[in-house]
Every structure is written in structure tokens, then in C-alpha cells.
Structure 1
Amino acid sequence: MLDLAKLAKQIPGISQHFQREMTASRQRLERAQILIRQTHAKQQDLIELHEQWHDRLIFSTATPIEPLNTRITITPAPYRHSVFATDGSQISPSHHEIAYCYLINIGRVMIHYGQNLHPLLDSVPEIYYKPEDLYVAKQWGIRIEEWMGYWRSVLEAQLLAEMACGWVNPPGPHFEPNLALVDGSLIYWFIETLPQEARDRILPPIQDAWEQLYQAKIPLMGYISASRSLEAINFFRLNACPHTIPNCVVHCSELSEDQTPCQVVSPLRDVTLWGYLLEPGQRGPLWRSHSRILNSYDEKQWVYFCYVNVGTEIARVEMPAWVAQDSTQLDQALSLMLAQVNKGYGYPVALAEAHNQAVVRSGDRARFFALLEQQMLKAGLRNVGTSYKETRKRGSIA
């Protein structure tokens, strides 16, 4: 039980800390606005400098595809359109439960606007209990809970493509404007740390799903709320570098990250800066990410992004190259995305509903294991039940 009386004594210190941080943040914003104007004046030169020396940088930076002063008002969404979304959750395995297995549940949502059609809101559960499922990641030193998250990303992509392409392609109806949405980044950062054999289990199925969307001309976007990215801010560090050549390996290898001379606005984040530059309903310039893992992506699947003031926050919106390089498709997809945020009162309604369909609540978990226990007893198994530890934790005599 939380002792609120003891906790209350610590609150004033927290308030004072955040007050100091707000003052420091305003100062960083002022420096960043000066820096962005300086960077805009020699934007192309810095892009060429990055292209030549990016392998010598100790930080990851994106490059702008449009002028840094780009401010584009997103057009209203067409009356008739469709939106597809998936999201997932899981039940982790436990040796204290009646059986050592895990479950991944993918929520699917398909909503049609202006077409007088029923939406699809359901979930697709899958149980994994075979040794090859439970212990496949052990050979690479990956914990099963981590592997579940990786595999969940695969299932989300596959079911999204299956649902969207199954509707848009024959025998589906007309080709109305549409959008496939995922919650979070399209850059699967975690793959970079995986052994090649494990990476080959995760990335190719996702790429195949994206290829299906590309062939069906369905734009794909990843919506990131409260992004902590520094990729855009880091581009300005090229301008702030005091050296003629931005060779971090030579000039700054002995310095810690926060001591490098180009770190003049740290720890300012992209969303904080664009929050002061964009009006509601506007997007900033397009950027191309240069994360190393994207070297494993097909060229048309390289990830681009922009920041959008959706009214309630600054969202980072990512899309594959095939969307970013088609201005008509990009504008239309952004209009559908913003309409989703407005309908969801600050967050895309399709993603919120996909999450609600996917989430496994405590009651669902209990019913799942009760059903499993029933089937195990029916199969003639004995001594089926949870461990004494788990049983004791579920109740209290205090």
C-alpha cells in the first residue's frame, strides 16, 4: 500500500525541479529557433555534408526532404473513405500457471465513412505452446517476453495487410480513399540488435506485408504519440559543429555525448521545437530517416516522417518511401490521419479501437486459463492447477 503521507514530503522538491526545467527549456527553444534559421540558409550544403560524412557521426540524424520553413495546412478528408488498423497485446508465459504457454491477441479494425457499411471490430488470438514456439529465441539469448513483442509486430503487419488488401482488392467494393494505420514507429529499431538468423524471422514477413499494401496502393502510416525522437534536432548539430569536417570519430571520440560542442540545445526534442513552429492542422517538412536498420529495408520501404500539429499534440507520422514520394497519396493519407485524430478526440479512433479489441484484461486472462484447465481435465490430465505461490498472491488475509 502506498503511504501518501510520506510521499507528500517529496512533492515540493519535484515541483521545484520541473520549474527549473521549464526555464531551461525556454532558453533551449530560443537557441533552437536561431539555429533552425541558420541551418535553413545552408540546408543543401549540410545535406551534402551529411551524405559524405554520415558514417563518422556518433549520433543518428535525419535529413530534410523539403525546406525547413515548410508549413503545410492539411486538407480536409474526403467524405467517403476507409481506415484500417491493428494493434496487439499478449499473455506472457508463467511457470506458476496451469500450463506454460503464451497468447498473442491482435485487434483488427476496419471503419468505412460515408459508405453506409458496417465496420469490422474484432480480434484474432493465437496460442503458442509447442517447444519450437516457446524456446526458439533461447538459441539467440533472447528472453521469451522480448520475442513475443517482436513476433507481435509481425502479426500486426500481416493481419493489417490481409484485412486491407482483402477489402480493397476484388471481390471488395470500390477503390475509395483509404489508409492503413499502425500504432508506433515503422522503424523496427530492436531488429538492429538481433542476430542475423533471428532478424530473418522477423523482418521479411513484415516487408512482405508492406509489399502487399504497396501493390494494392494502400498508404501506410505509423502514428507516434509523445515521440522522444531527436532525429530532426540532430540535423541542426551539423550546423553547430565548430569543425570544418563533422568527423566525430576524430574530433569528439573522447567526449561524452552531452559534452560535444554541437550539443547546444540538448535535451530538446523534436516535438517540443515543432510545437512552437506549427499551427493546429499544419505539418512541417518531410524528413528521411537514416537509421542503420533501414539498410535492411527495400528502397521503396525506407522510412520518411513529418511532424503534425494535430491540435492536442505534435505527432510524429511515419510513412514508407512509396507514400512520401507520391504527393497526392501523401496529402490524402495525412488528411485521413488528421480526421481520425479529430474523430478520436486527440488520438486516431481506429488505433484506439484496435487497442481496445486487442487488450487482454484480468478477467479475460482468468477465463483463458479456466478454459485451458477445463480442456486439460477433459483430456484426462490430472494435478492441473496454479502453483501455491500464484494462488496465495491472488488472495490476501490482511
Structure 2
Amino acid sequence: MLDLTKLAKQIPGISQHLKGEATASRQRLELAQQLLSQTQLRQDYLVKTQHQWRDRMTFTAATPIEPLHTRVNLNPPPERHTVFATDGSQIAPSHHEIAYCYLINVGRVMLHYGQSLHPLLDSLPEAFYRPEDLYVSRQWGIRTEEWMGHRRTVSEVSVLAEMACRWVNPPGSHFDIPNLAMVDGSLIYWFLESLPTEARDRILPPILTAWEQLRSVNVPLMGYLSASRSSEALNFLRLQVCPHPTPDCMTHCANIIDKLPCQVVDPLRDAVLWGSLLQPGQRSPLYRSSIRILDLYSDHRIYFCYVHVGTEIARVEVPEWVMQNSSLFNQALSLMLAQVNKGYGYPVALAEAHNQAVVRGGDRARFFALLEQQMIRSGLKNVGISYKESLKRFSIS
């Protein structure tokens, strides 16, 4: 039980600390705005420098592919369009339960506008209980719970592509209607960097296959990040303030343990900077992400921009093939902004997909109750949870 009386003594210190941080953040923001203006004048040179010294830099900086002073007003969405979205949730495996297994539940949503069609809102649950599902990751030193999260990512993207392609392809044949496929979160799967090659090959290829399916039917894919904490765009400004002739971090800064001399605005985030520069309904210049794992994405390399959606600064990510088609990219942004407006600050399709996917405590209990009944019918004996789990559920304290 939380003792609020004892905790109350610490609150003033927290408040004073946050007040000081707010002042420092304003100063960092002003400096970042000045650096952005200076960097605009040398943008082409700095882009070439970054490309030349990329392998010697110890930080990741996104590359702007448009002038840094770019501000683009988004177009209103077409009256008739369709938005697809998926999200996932899970029941993690536990040795204290009646059976060691896990479940992935993918919520899927298809919303039609201006077409007088019923929406699709449901979920697709899948249980994993075979040894090859539960223990295959152990050979790479990956816990089952962690592997479950990776499998969930694959399921979300696969279901999204299947839903969109089934709607667009015959007998649907809705090629003439603007569409958008959305996922919650980044399209850059950072966790792939730490995976062994064999494990990575079981995760990334199915994802890229699903993306290719969306590409084949001309449905743009978009990752929507709310409250992004990325500083990838700001890191490009570090090239401007580098005190050395070349950004050769491995030579000039190898022995520096603390803050590097180019980290003059850390820990400022991209969203804070662009929040001070964009008007509602505007987007920032496009950036090409330089995360090294994207070298494995082939022609699906990720590009991103920041959009003032009215309530916040959202980071929006798309694959390269969406960015290369300017009309498709602009259409995707307009549909995204319409979704945010309909959802009062967050894309309504993503919110509904989450609601369909989430597994609540009651759902978990009913799942294991159903499993228990089936195990008893099958003739299994001594079916029950561990004593530890029993005491946790029915504690008298």
C-alpha cells in the first residue's frame, strides 16, 4: 500500500526540479531555433559531409531531403475514402497458470467515409501452445515473452495487409477510392538490431512481404507516433556545431565519456522544436532515417516528418515508395489529419483498433476458464493454478 503521508514530503523537491528543467528547456529550444537557421544556410554541404563520414559518427542523424525551412499546409481529405488500422495485445505465458501458453489478439478496423458502407471492427485471437511456438526462441537466448512481442508485431502488419488487399482487390475493386493503412507506433523496428540473424529472418521478411502487398494495391502505409521522444532530426544540427574539421567522432571524441561538444541542445526532442515552428495543419520537411537496421529494409527505407495535428506534434513515418509518390504521400497525410480530427486528438481508427485488441483482466480469466473446462473434458487431472497464484488472487490481506 502506498503511504501518501511519507510521499508528500518528496513532492516539493520534485516540483522545484521540474521548474528548473522547464527554464533550461526554454533556453535549449531558443538555441535549437538559432542552430536551425544557421544549418539552413549550409544544408547541402552538411548532407554531403554526413554521407561521407557516416561510418565514423557515433550518433544517428536523420537526413533532410527538403529545405529545412519547408512548411507545408496539408490538404483537406477527399469526401470518399477508407482507412485501415490494426493493433495488438496479448496474454503472456505463465508457469503459474493451468497451462503454459500465450495468446495474441489483433484488433482490426476498417472505416469507410462517404460510401454508405458498414465499418469493420473486430479482433483475431490466436493461441500459441506448441513447443515450436513456445521454445524456438530459446536457442537464440530470447525469452518467450520477448519473442511473443515480436510475433505480435508480425501479426499486426500481416492482418493489416490482408484486410486492405482483400478490400481493394476483386471482387472488391476499390482502386478508385483513396485508402490509408495505419499502425500505432514506429515502422522502424529497433529490436531487430539486437536479434541474431536467424531470429531476425523469422521476423523481418514477413513484415516486408506485407508491406509489399500494400504497395502492390497502392495503399499507403503510415506509422503514427504520438508524443514521440525522438531526437533524430535534431541530431542533424550537431553537424553544424561540431568543433572539429570533420565529424569523425571515433577519432576526435573517442575518449569523451560525458556529454560530447556537439550535444548543445540535449535532451531536447524533435517534437518540441517543431512544435514551436509549425502551425496547425502544417508538416515539417521530410527526413530520411539513418538508423542502421534500415539497411535491411531494401526499398522500404523509412522517411518521416512532423505534423502539427492541432493537439500535439505527431511524428509520421512512411516507407520510401510512399514518399516517392507525392500525390499518394499528400493523400495519406490528409487522411491521417482527418482521422485525428475525428478522434479529437488521436486517429480514431487506431483508437478503435486498440479497443478491439486490448485483453482485459476479465478476458484473461475467461480464456483460462474455457481452457480449464476443455482440459477436464479431455480427461486431464490435477488441472489448476499454482499455490502462489492462488494466494495472490484470493489473499485475505
TM-score, normalising length: structure 1: 0.99
- Partner Cα distance (1:340, 1:9) in 2: 44
Q: Given the alignment of the two structures, is residue 338 of structure 1 paired with residue 337 of structure 2, yes or no?
A: yes
| C-alpha RMSD of the superposition | 0.7
**CA offset at residue 253 of structure 1?**
0.7
**CA offset at residue 393 of structure 1?**
0.4
- Equivalent residue runs for 1:103-182 within 5 Å: 103-175=103-175, 176-182=177-183
Does the 8 Å CA contact 2:167/2:174 hold for their aligned counterparts?
A: no
- Partner Cα distance (1:174, 1:311) in 2: 31
- Partner Cα distance (1:122, 1:279) in 2: 36
- Partner Cα distance (1:313, 1:141) in 2: 39
Query: Structure 2 unaligned runs (5+)?
Result: none
Amino acid at match of 1:276: S
- Partner Cα distance (2:165, 2:262) in 1: 46
SS at match of 2:99: coil
2:25 matched to which residue of 1? 25
- Equivalent residue runs for 1:4-83 within 5 Å: 4-83=4-83
Amino acid at match of 2:394: G
- Equivalent residue runs for 1:268-279 within 5 Å: 268-279=268-279
SS at match of 1:335: helix
**CA offset at residue 287 of structure 1?**
0.2
Q: Given the alignment of the two structures, is residue 247 of structure 1 paired with residue 255 of structure 2, yes or no?
A: no
**CA offset at residue 259 of structure 1?**
2.2
Q: Given the alignment of the two structures, is residue 390 of structure 1 paired with residue 380 of structure 2, yes or no?
A: no
SS at match of 2:202: helix
SS at match of 2:233: helix
Offset from partner CA, 1:327-370 (integer Å, 9 cap, x none) = 10111000000000111111100001000000000000000000
Query: Identity of aligned pairs, percent?
Result: 71
**CA offset at residue 173 of structure 1?**
4.1
- Partner Cα distance (2:368, 2:151) in 1: 22
- Partner Cα distance (1:277, 1:325) in 2: 25
Amino acid at match of 1:297: Y
- Partner Cα distance (1:120, 1:8) in 2: 48
**CA offset at residue 4 of structure 1?**
1.2
SS at match of 1:259: coil
- Partner Cα distance (1:253, 1:229) in 2: 24
1:190 matched to which residue of 2? 191
1:379 matched to which residue of 2? 378
- Equivalent residue runs for 1:196-215 within 5 Å: 196-215=197-216
Count of residue pairs the alignment pairs up? 396
Q: Kindly report structure 1 stretches of 4+ aligned residues shifted beyond 3 Å.
A: none
Does the 8 Å CA contact 2:66/2:287 hold for their aligned counterparts?
A: yes
- Partner Cα distance (2:211, 2:70) in 1: 28
- Partner Cα distance (1:254, 1:169) in 2: 58
- Partner Cα distance (2:355, 2:264) in 1: 42
SS at match of 2:186: coil
Does the 8 Å CA contact 2:87/2:183 hold for their aligned counterparts?
A: yes
- Partner Cα distance (1:280, 1:10) in 2: 38
